[in-house]
Structure 1
Amino acid sequence: MSQPSNPLKPPLTNISLSSRFTPKTPLKLPLTTCPSKPLKAGTPSFKTLSSNSQNPPKKPSKAITITSLLRAIPEWADRVQERGMQKKRSLYNHEKWAEHRSSFRHIRHLLSSLSSRVVLSLVPPVIAFTSVAVVIASYNSAVEMHFLPGFFPVLRTSSLPYQLTAPALALLLVFRTEASYSRFEDGKTAWTKVISGTNDFARQVISGVDGSSNSALKSELLRYIMAFPIALKCHVTYGSNIGQDLQNLLEAGDLAIVLKSRHRPRCIIEFISQCLQLLNVDESKRNLLESKISCFHEGIGVCEQLMGIPIPLSYTRLTSRFLVLWHLTLPIILWDDCHWIVVPSTFISAASLFCIEEVGVLIEEPFPMLALDELCNVVQNNIWEAIATEKEIQARLVAKRKSHSCEHSTNGWPSPKQKE
C-alpha cells in the first residue's frame, strides 16, 4: 500500500533554488507617520546624512579665504606672464632699430616697467621677501627697545658667509642665463634653416617643374610648402590655432586631414611627398626635390628637442633655492650695518637678482620669443610674389635672348645668323 502524501510537504523532485514569483500588482503601502516619543535626557540621538541632504555640513571658510588670498597675487602674476608669452612678436625694420638705439630708450623702458611681464612676474617673490625683511626689522627694533622680554635675542650675524657665497651666486645666475640664451640661439638657428629651406624648396618647384603638364599639382605643392612653417609654428607654440592659420591656404578636405592628424607638420610633409610622386618630372629632378624635405625633418627634430628637454631641473632648482635662502637671511646679515635700511636693500636685491633669473626662465623656451608669425607671413609673401612674377620674368628673358641673337656678342664674335 502506498502511503498518503503529505499535502504540506512538497516532493523532493520539485525543489528549485530560484524563485519565479512575480507579483501581478506592485505592493503599495500607505505612508503613515508615527508620532515620535520624547527622548529621555541622556539618550543619544542619531541623524542620517546623505549626499542629497539639503543642509550639508559647512566647511570652515577661514582656511579657504586665507589660501585664496595667499594665492591671489601669484596667480594674477602668472596670468599676466602667460598673456605676455602668447603675444605676437614683430620683426625689426630700420625704424624699430632706430628706436631701439635711441637715447631716450632708458626713460622709455623705465616708464614702461609697470607693463612689463618680467617686472610683474616678480611681484610675488619681491613682496614676500620684503615682508620678511619688515618682520625681522620690526622684531629686532622691538627687542632693542625692550618691548619684548630680555630672553628674546636680536637676529644678527656676521656678513662673512655672504661675502664668501656672493661670487657663487653670481656665477650660478650667469651660467643659468647663458644656458637659456644658448637654447634661444638654437631655436633661432633651427627656424632660420626652416625658413631658408622653405624658400629654396619653393624656388626649385617654381623653376624646375613644368607648369603646362603639372599645373594643378604644382600649385598644390607650393601651398603645402607654404603650410609647413605654419604647422611647425603651431606645433611648438602654445595657444596657436592651426585651423584659422591654414584655412586660407589649404582646401577644406586637406585641412580636415591635417587637423585630424596627431603630428600636423609630419602630415604636411606626407602631402608634399605624395605630391612629388605624382609630378610628371624626371627621376633625377624628383630626387633633388625630395632631398629638400630633409631640412623640414631636421627642423622638427631640433624644435621638439628644445620643447621636450629643458635645462636640467636640478640646475634650475638649485638656482631658485639659493636665491630664496639668500634673501630670507639677508635682513639678518645686514641688520648691524643698515638697521631699517634692510627693507629697501632686500627689495632692491630681490628685484634685481630674481629679474635675472626670470629672464633666464623666459628665454629657456625660445619659440614664444621669436617672431614666428611674421616669419611665416614673409615666406608666404615671397613665394606668392615669385609665382606672380615667374611668367613675367621668363617672358622678359626670352625677349632678351632673341634680341641678343640678332646682334654681335660682347666679346666681338659674330652671331650665328651673321655667320650664315
Structure 2
Amino acid sequence: MTQSSSPSKLSLSSSFIPKPFLHFRPNSPVPTKLNRPPYFKILFSASQPPPPPPPLPPSSMPTTSDAKTLNLISFIGAIPDWADRIQERGMRQNRALYDHEKWVHHRSSQRHLRHLLSSLQSRVILSLVPPVLAFTSVAVVVATYNTAVDLHWLPDFFPMLRASSLPYQLTAPALALLLVFRTEASYSRYEEGRKAWTKVIAGTNDLARQVIAGVDNSVDDQPIKSALLHYIMAFPVALKCHVLYGSDIGRDLQNLIEVDDLAVILNSKHRPRCIIDFISQSLKLLNLEETKRTALESTISCFHEGIGVCDQLMGVPIPLSYTRLTSRFLVLWHLTLPIILWDDCHWIVVPATFISAASLFCIEEVGVLIEEPFPMLPLDELCIVVQNNIKETMATEKDIQARVKGKRKRNSYKHSPNGCPNPNTQCC
C-alpha cells in the first residue's frame, strides 16, 4: 500500500473528485469497493434539504388487497363529497327577484312538466343521491338474500327476512307529523329572516330619504352628507356578507367606501356594527337641529334590530335533538322497509324503497336547507336595488327641489267662499 505523493487539492467549486489513495493488488482477498472513485458534492445553501425517508420494510408495504380496499373506500366516500359540493355550490348561487314576467312563468300550466324534466338539475335531488343509493342497495341485498333462501340456494337454517306491516301502519302518521313539523319550523325561520331583511331595506331607504331631504347642501355639510349616504348604502352589503358564507366584503364595498374607511371596517370584528358607528359619527358632525338629529338616530334602531335577528338565526338553529330524531327515524324506517314489504312486493321492494327514500328524504332536505334562510333570499339583488334607488334620488335631488321651489313663484289661485278659483269669476 502506497500513498500518493501529491495530495488532493480542495476547491470551492460545487463538486470535486479526489484522487484515490488506496491501491489493491488484483489478487488481493480484500474486496475492492473503491474501483470507482468517490464523488462528493458540496452545497452552499442556507438550509439543507431533508434526507429521504427510509424505505418501508416489506411487512409494511401495501398489498394488492389493501390497495383494492382503499380504492373501494375512496370510491364510496367520493359520492357524498360530490353531493356536498353540488349542494354548497347551489347554496352560494345568487337568487333573483321576481318581476311580472317571472311570475307568469312561475304559475304557468306547464310548470309540472318543466319541473319534472329539470329534476336531474335540482341540487336538492342530487344531494340525496348518497342516502337514496344506500337504501336502494340495502333493498337489493335483502331481495337477493330472500330469493336465495326461497330457492334453497342457502342452507335451511338461514331464515327468511319478513315481518308484519302493522308496526309501519302505526308509525307512518308519526313520521308524517315529524316531517311536517320539521319543515314548518324551518319555514318559520325563513319567514323571520325575510321580515328582518324587509325592515332593514325599508329602514335604509327611509334613512337615506331623510338625509337627502333634511340636510342642506352647504359647503360644510356636503362632504359629510355624501359620505353618510355611502355608509347607508354600504350597511345592507355588510350585513349580507356577514350572514352569507364565502362573501367577499372587500370586493363588494370597494366602490362604495373610501380605502381608509374600508380598512377600518375590514379590521373590525363585527363589520355591520362598525358601519353603524360611521353613520352615527357622521350624524353628529352635520349642522342639524336636535329634533332632526334625534329622528335620524331613531331610524338606525331598525339596523340594530336586523343585526340581532340575523345573529340569532345564524347562531341558534332548530334544536339539534329534533333534527337528529327526524334523521334517525328516517334511516331506521328505510333500513327495515324492504323486510316489511317483501311478502307483498317481492322484488318490487327495490323501486318502492327508492321512491319512498327519494320522497321522504327530499322533504327532510328542504327543511334543512331553509333552516338557514339567508342563502335562500335574494340579498344581492336587494342590495343592488337599494343602491340604485339612493343613487337615483341623489341624482334627481336638485332637479326636484328646483321644480318644487319654482311652484312658489307662480301666482296661486285665491279661492272665494263660494268655491270659485277667482273672485272675479262668477260660478253658475
Could you state the TM-score of these two structures normalised by the residue count of structure 2? Answer: 0.83
Structure 2 match to 1:319: 326
| 2:193 is equivalent to residue 187 of structure 1 | yes
2:117 to 103, 111, 115: 111
Q: What letter is aligned with 2:229?
A: L
1:349 to 342, 353, 356: 356
1:90 to 84, 96, 108: 96
Structure 2 match to 1:259: 266
Q: Which runs of 5+ in 1 are unaligned?
A: 1-31, 37-49, 416-420
Which secondary structure does the structure 2 equivalent of 1:90 belong to?
coil
Q: Which runs of 5+ in 2 are unaligned?
A: 1-21, 23-29, 32-49, 424-428
Could you say if the C-alpha distance between residues 115 and 398 of structure 1 is closer, same or farther in structure 2, counting changes exceeding 3 Å? same
CA distance in 1, matches of 2:405, 2:145: 90
Which secondary structure does the structure 1 equivalent of 2:195 belong to?
helix
Structure 2 match to 1:198: 204
| 2:109 is equivalent to residue 123 of structure 1 | no
Structure 1 match to 2:148: 142
- Deviations 1:127-171 (Å, cap 9, x if unpaired)? 000000000000000000001011111100100000000000000
Q: What letter is aligned with 1:402?
A: K
Which secondary structure does the structure 1 equivalent of 2:396 belong to?
helix
| 2:384 is equivalent to residue 377 of structure 1 | yes
- Deviations 1:5-27 (Å, cap 9, x if unpaired)? xxxxxxxxxxxxxxxxxxxxxxx
CA distance in 1, matches of 2:221, 2:69: 71
Structure 2 match to 1:246: 253
Structure 2 match to 1:53: 53
CA distance in 2, matches of 1:292, 1:409: 40
> 1:9-408 alignment to 2 at 5 Å?
52-56=52-56, 57-59=60-62, 60-212=66-218, 213-405=220-412, 407-408=413-414
CA distance in 1, matches of 2:55, 2:174: 59
Query: How far has the Cα of 1:64 moved from its partner?
Result: 2.8
Query: How far has the Cα of 1:65 moved from its partner?
Result: 2.1
Structure 1 match to 2:41: none
CA distance in 1, matches of 2:67, 2:159: 37
Query: How far has the Cα of 1:414 moved from its partner?
Result: 7.2
Could you say if the C-alpha distance between residues 207 and 83 of structure 1 is closer, same or farther in structure 2, counting changes exceeding 3 Å? same
- Deviations 1:309-351 (Å, cap 9, x if unpaired)? 0000000000000000000000000000000000000000000
Paired-residue identity, %: 72
Query: How far has the Cα of 1:183 moved from its partner?
Result: 0.3
CA distance in 2, matches of 1:147, 1:216: 89
Could you say if the C-alpha distance between residues 282 and 414 of structure 1 is closer, same or farther in structure 2, counting changes exceeding 3 Å? farther
Pick 1 or 2: higher relative contact order, CA cutoff 8 A, min separation 6: 1
CA distance in 2, matches of 1:300, 1:412: 56
Query: How far has the Cα of 1:269 moved from its partner?
Result: 0.5
Structure 2 match to 1:23: none
Query: How far has the Cα of 1:288 moved from its partner?
Result: 1.1
- Deviations 1:284-316 (Å, cap 9, x if unpaired)? 211111111110000000001000000000000
CA distance in 2, matches of 1:149, 1:75: 40
Q: What letter is aligned with 1:117?
A: R
Could you state the TM-score of these two structures normalised by the residue count of structure 1? Answer: 0.85
Query: How far has the Cα of 1:393 moved from its partner?
Result: 1.0
Which secondary structure does the structure 2 equivalent of 1:151 belong to?
coil
Query: How far has the Cα of 1:403 moved from its partner?
Result: 1.1
Query: How far has the Cα of 1:261 moved from its partner?
Result: 1.2
Query: How far has the Cα of 1:67 moved from its partner?
Result: 2.1
Query: How far has the Cα of 1:52 moved from its partner?
Result: 4.7
Structure 1 match to 2:6: none
Query: How far has the Cα of 1:413 moved from its partner?
Result: 7.7
CA distance in 1, matches of 2:287, 2:170: 73
